[in-house]
Amino acid sequence: MKKLPLLLPLLGLALSASAQQKNIYHKGWVDFNKNGRMDVFEDPSQTIDKRIADLLSQMTVEEKTCQMATLYGYKRVLKDEMPVPNWKNEVWKDGIANIDEELNNLTSHTDDAPTQYSYPFSKHASAINTIQKWFVEETRMGIPVDFTNEGIHGLNHDRATPLPAPIGIGSTWDKQLVRQAGQTVGREAKALGYTNVYAPILDPARDQRWGRVVECYGENPFHIAEMGKQMVLGIQEEGVASTLKHYAVYSVPKGGRDGSARTDPHVAPREMHQVYLYPFRRVIQEAHPMGVMSSYNDYDGVPITGSYYFLTELLRQKFGFQGYVVSDSEAVEFLYSKHKVAADYKEAVRQAVEAGLNVRTNFTMPQTFILPLRELIKENRISMKVIDSRVADVLRVKFRLGLFDSPYVKDPKAADKLVHTAADEQMSLKMNREAMVLLKNENNLLPLDKGKYKNILVTGPLAVESNYSVSRYGPSHNPITSVFDGIKKYVGAAGKVNYLKGCDMVDATWPESEIIETPLTTAEQAGIDSAVAQAKLSDVVIAVVGEDADRVGESLSRTGLNLPGRQLRLIQALQATGKPVVMVMINGQPLTINWENKYVPAILEAWFPSTQSGQVIAETLFGDNNPGGKLPITFPKTTGQIEFNFPFKPNSQAGQGGQNSWGHTSVNGALYPFGYGLSYTKFEYSNLQVSPEKGQSQGDVTVTVDVTNTGQRQGDDVVQLYLKDDVSSVTTYEYDLRGFERVNLKPGEKKTVTFTLHPDDLALLDKNMNWTVEPGTFQIWIGSSSQDIKLKKGFTIE
């Protein structure tokens, strides 16, 4: 019996009875339908379109509808870790589109799925092969499964390489590093047997109250597009599909509210295209992801998952998407249960499939979708032409992934050497370091001198907490270094490091205490008093405050953005001791830290760092890591300013001075603007050049600027290019980000940074909603934040 080299020998599994009777593995091809001959769809030399057409022509309605549903993996929906005889009686006896999060040993509040097959990594790869083998050998057509998994801050698998939360990744502004992170996620997925990663999230986080800000790269569409593009390229370079989330207009629920609301975005059409769809359009056109996840909100009364305009006209016809669309969990059901645009669930299924949905995902058995779908076909309420088109999209991705040429992990043992390597750990460490943003550093209190500060107090509810470093969508079971442990280890024998909690994350009546304050309990007062007593004996106080995993995330939107609970009271009491206080913030969204910014001398924003948080924060506080991160989202002073973000329309975020205005009734301006971040060194910009100074609407514009490190330490700067359109046929944003580069410079070193502006960067949506480059004058602004503009130069488009 001839066998495809590397396929079966490495599986180490006995052939099933049916495959023994009829060997399906031949040199260079697999007899998936077990008919003893090489069909067109089994022939690797044929075009993908021909292979799809041939396969579709041989499939039954049962087999086609099975390629339109997800089977959630073990413990969520699937009850068996390995194939069992009863699978022959399950709906997936005719195949399945994808199996999600299979045997990944997830640990979270919402799902706990322990399994013996997640680790060692080689064991997982072999287990996935066993399951894939069942689908190839035990179903009539043998169509391989697409194994999907989450991956927004590292692959969602037991002990895979962890990354900081996406808002931290966004703070690096490091395109090259994000590409590298994507390659790590893709390589690990492939080695473990996953073929499709649900990442990145391209939602612009425009409302700081929204709980999922922590899962986004930031608020600015250009910044998100640039980062997201690199993540997709990195993942797909490893031969794995990238699926974008959450399409579309999902990230701006009314009043920032989440949970069962998740709906009613108040966004005008032009803003929708310029802000919310922009990252999706750019990433689809420039990185060609193989997947898109449809969101469960509506837009202007039409649920996205039931919208032909969003799922077909825009996504496929305008943006050129060629992969398959999977629904966010329960998005199809919501057409009936929440949005009430369908009288029953079956009608919701019809609307979604007609709109352009390829695969339904939910935490219910796949037959809850497949059976109504089959009824609709039988009743002629959905045509076979539509079904064939939807299934063809799914099959196209499976062909592009090579699943019909090599359905198995070729070398399961190699997974042990390919997942979470020493090099991956260094990449993750670098990303955590680059995500640190220095918000305040009065009188250069930071970096701390180990020789000067011999007695250190580490306090605050997050000093020894670690739940922020592992979330629902990232790797689990990695060892974690808390901030206290990281500082203690860093200081070593050079000094004494004490810990006192000071206060809990929240008080008994929180979040109501944000609007009706209650007196401190005896225990709360004692906790603060003990921290104050220790602070008086210390040389410096490091207060670790902010939010934990229960305070921010999906369905965890907030009404206030102050430090939760008694944390401000703790900070105020520590500050009153007269000792230097350094505030380290661990949080998933901007916080309105006005008092803290006014009175605390040093503030470091760490976001939700990953498992090495303690090490990285210690390195940053003591100067081994010079913080170079920049804020990817505006910090407002109060929730009363929201919406308050970047970019913005002229005067829409103005104060009350100037022509035709008066009065002093509002707090104005950002606490920290978009693009803001300090350093332990200084940078200067010079020699801004724009070429050509008079150009054509379809030509590129080249911009160069010199940046010099004029300080005493090596450090990173993010050079930011903003574009201003002086006069336009429709109102455009005051100015917008159109380029950024992170550069590392030694003291005294100078580098020339080059930007290329393409016609798309100059385009606006005109009165007829067409993307147009209008003739006129433009300005290039170079700055170290959206407010700190250093150089300006104009050019003309003729």
CA atoms 159, 223, 760, 642: torsion sign: positive
CA atoms 590, 594, 598, 602: torsion sign: negative
- Half-sphere exposure for 276 (CA within 13 Å, toward CB): 22
Angle between helices 278-287 and 221-236 (to 10 degrees): 30
Distance CA 627, CA 681 (A): 10
Largest Cα separation within the chain, whole Å, is 88
CB 760 within 8 A of CB 771: yes
Angle between helices 613-621 and 422-435 (to 10 degrees): 50
Distance CA 291, CA 311 (A): 12
Distance CA 303, CA 296 (A): 7
Q: What would the two tokens of residue 476 be?
A: 């689990």
CA atoms 710, 712, 716, 718: torsion sign: negative
Q: What would the two tokens of residue 739 be?
A: 């380029």
Distance CA 760, CA 697 (A): 10
Of 85, 83, 107, give the one whose Cα is nearest residue 96: 83
With 0-12 CB in 10 A as exposed, 13-18 as middle and 19+ as buried, what is 234?
Answer: buried
Distance CA 526, CA 710 (A): 47
With 0-12 CB in 10 A as exposed, 13-18 as middle and 19+ as buried, what is 232?
Answer: buried
Residues 6+ apart with CB under 8 A from 297: 249, 250, 253, 262, 263, 264, 265, 303, 304
DSSP SS3 for 387: helix
Q: Where are the beta strands (DSSP E) in 529-666?
A: 540-546, 581-586, 602-605
Cβ atoms within 10 Å, residue 84: 11
Q: Where are the beta strands (DSSP E) in 492-533?
A: 496-500
Of 447, 547, 463, 462, give the one whose Cα is nearest residue 497: 463
Residues 6+ apart with CB under 8 A from 554: 211, 212, 215, 258, 472
Which residue is listed with tokens 């009188």?
A: 443
DSSP SS3 for 229: helix
Distance CA 669, CA 658 (A): 15
Distance CA 256, CA 263 (A): 10
Q: How far is CA 72 from the centre of its chain?
A: 21
Which residue is listed with tokens 């010099």?
A: 708
CB 639 within 8 A of CB 560: yes
Cβ atoms within 10 Å, residue 29: 17
CB 715 within 8 A of CB 628: yes
Please give the DSSP secondary-structure letter assigned to residue 296: S
What is the 3 state secondary structure string of 33-52? CCCCCCCHHHCCCCCHHHHH
Length of the chain: 798
Catalytic (active-site) positions: 328
Intra-chain end-to-end CA distance of the chain, in Å? 71
| Strand 789-797 with 776-783, pairing | antiparallel
